[in-house]
Amino acid sequence: MHSALHPEDAASDQEQPSYKYRDTLLSRNPDAKILYTVEDLMVIFGLGRATIYKMMATENWPHSRYGGQKRFEEADLEAIKAMHRRPSEVGPPSSRRPRIGTRARHSKP
């Protein structure tokens, strides 16, 4: 018997966004746009609900409103990721070996 009260089930539900009815929608219309909810973004980005609403207001995250509900398209998610993407901070490789031990602590660079 399958129960939703098992801890394993709860953990697996939290790891992935809930796509209620989306599989059915996509099987009927493969060109349909998937709209993500705030709860989906909480899981995808690992942020809390209040943080997401704050970012929508202060960072101008792209979204759509349907009544009082906020929804995000795939393009919105990509735009949000691009807004927060930072260039790599990796510099050129050093030609000098790192100093290890007592001499490294007492010597000047």
Q: What is the pLDDT of residues 69-94, one digit of tens each?
A: 999 999 999 999 998 888 777 666 66
Q: Say if residue 65 is exposed, middle or buried (CB neighbours under 10 Å; 0-12, 13-18, 19+).
A: exposed
Distance CA 19, CA 95 (A): 51
Task: State which residues form the domain around 51.
Answer: 7-86
Nearest Cα to 74, choosing from 24, 14, 26, 10? 26
Is 12 within a domain? yes
Is 100 within a domain? no
Q: How far is CA 11 from CA 40, 41, 44, 52, in A?
A: 15, 17, 15, 22
How many domains is the chain built from?
A: 1
pTM, 2 dp: 0.55
Q: What are the pLDDT digits (tens) for 29-61?
A: 667 678 899 999 999 999 999 999 999 999 889
The CATH number linked to 69 is: 1.10.1660
